A and B are shown apart, each in its own frame.
Chain A
Amino acid sequence: DTEVTQTPKHLVMGMTNKKSLKCEQHMGHRAMYWYKQKAKKPPELMFVYSYEKLSINESVPSRFSPECPNSSLLNLHLHALQPEDSALYLCASSLKDQRGGGEQFFGPGTRLTVL
């Protein structure tokens, strides 16, 4: 299994809703990432988990809350989002954390729309 899966593919939520994005990989990778991508822009790093511990938080607002229940799963909990948070949310994984210089494998993303 050489892929990263993400669910749901699309999500529409109101500003008062609570929802979660899920990411899964079975490649034995020990680093997992959340990125936010706006249209026509490169991905922006949000969080990095290394060996199931949060190692990097790129000053992301607290309405985004990551969780890594085990080495294969990564969640992003969403609460009280704003319309400007609408974007493609990408999950990625790598054999070791990005400071090791290896390539990252990306999932297909969740297209989030906040009304």
Chain B
Amino acid sequence: GNSVTQMEGPVTLSEEAFLTINCTYTATGYPSLFWYVQYPGEGLQLLLKATKADDKGSNKGFEATYRKETTSFHLEKGSVQVSDSAVYFCALTPLLVKIIFGKGTRLHILP
């Protein structure tokens, strides 16, 4: 079946630290992969996406690479800010199947 597994939170880091949030998936075929971010009290925003193997999605200093060999799409940022505090959802959309979300990782950045 299709599923997404992401690291449990909360993740707490100091400002300017390096961030990695792990995401692995199982899927049939060749899904598109996404990271969505949800700031407190808001809806989800698309952060970045990748549609095929070895694609790198990037936005606002965040990056993730579609690794088919390890079925992973880890989110990274070199230097986090307090304003990055939010919940991050890894997601995939296999063809002919609805979007599958991970459980979400809550990120706290301390000043």
A: which residues have CB within 8 A of B?
Answer: 4, 6, 40-43, 45, 48, 56, 88, 90, 92, 98-109
CB-nearest residue of chain B to A4? B43
Can you report 23 residue pairs joining A to B where beta carbons are below 8 Å apart?
A: A6-B43, A41-B104, A42-B89, A42-B101, A45-B99, A48-B98, A90-B44, A98-B98, A98-B99, A101-B32, A101-B51, A101-B93, A101-B95, A102-B32, A103-B93, A104-B46, A106-B36, A106-B43, A106-B46, A108-B42, A108-B43, A109-B42, A109-B43
Q: A6-B43, A42-B89, A101-B32 are in contact. List 8 more A-B contacts (CB 8 A).
A: A41-B104, A90-B43, A90-B44, A101-B31, A101-B95, A103-B32, A103-B46, A106-B45
What number of B residues sit within 8 Å (CB to CB) of A?
A: 24
Specify the main secondary structure of chain B where it touches its partner. Answer: loop
For A90, the chain B residues whose CB sits under 8 A away are 43-44
| Main secondary structure on A side of the interface with B | mixed
A42 to B97: give the CA distance in the assembly, Å.
17
> B91-103, CB under 8 A of A: which get 1 and which 0?
0011111110111
**Of A45, A103, A107, A109, the contact of B98 (CB 8 Å cutoff):** A45
B43 and A102 contact, CB distance less than 8 A: no
Residues of A within 8 A of B32 (CB): 101-103
Determine if B43 and A107 form an interchain contact, defined as CB atoms under 8 angstroms apart: yes
